Structure 1
Amino acid sequence: MAGGGNDPKPSELKQQYGESVELVTEDGSSLSFRILAELTVGGNRYALLQSEAMKEDDEFDVFRIVADPSGEAQLENVTDEEEWELVAEAFDDSQFGSDDQP
């Protein structure tokens, strides 16, 4: 997918959807996710989302933010484990500092 001048702004998801977003699952049902953070890693924009069930286990999911042809923010699943880990580590660093820990 070619990038253009319609890249989403840093707070675009929250501006567009508020504090949470509804996503349709594979079985067709919808699930509400809280928007934990939006960040840029390696030139790409990402959103970290957390459902109520994930919150209980202190887990989150990573989605790539892309702009559709009209410039509206859309979410894509991040399926590459290395990419997912890079974003999760950047989020941890933003929350807890970047001190190297043993």
Structure 2
Amino acid sequence: MTAYNRENVVWTSRIQEAFGPVVELQDEQGKSTYYQVEKEFEVAGHSYVVLRPDGSSKSDEPEILKVVAGADGELSLETIDDDDEWEEVSELYDELTFPE
């Protein structure tokens, strides 16, 4: 049984505390996009944040990013490159958002 289940979720607010309810992310070309912080949680020793583009509707798919703390404690957001991890986190978020 995987550790990515709702019983192991701890809700957090590290990104909101560090950056506020709206974060600015830049793509590879330097274009900025603003995102509303929707949810933050820890599971299986990893932290994640769910972001929704500012001004988007609830029906738009959110972005789920990994929260990583650097050696100096500074937080950064990274894409989830591992397909298995992405699938686990995405399914977990769906379970938390749309319980059966």
Question: For this structure pair, what is the TM-score category when the shorter chain's length is used for normalisation?
Answer: 0.7 to 0.9
Unaligned runs of 5+ in 2: 1-10
- 1:71 aligned counterpart, secondary structure: coil
Q: 1:9-28, aligned counterparts within 5 Å?
A: 10-28=12-30
* AA aligned opposite 1:83: E
TM-score by length of 2: 0.76
Structure-2 residue corresponding to 1:68: 70
| Separation (CA, whole Å) in 1 of partners of 2:20 and 2:54 | 16
* AA aligned opposite 1:77: T
| Separation (CA, whole Å) in 2 of partners of 1:11 and 1:64 | 13
> Does the 8 Å contact 1:64/1:78 carry over to 2?
yes
TM-score by length of 1: 0.75
Unaligned runs of 5+ in 1: 1-8
| Separation (CA, whole Å) in 2 of partners of 1:54 and 1:43 | 30
Aligned residue pairs total 90
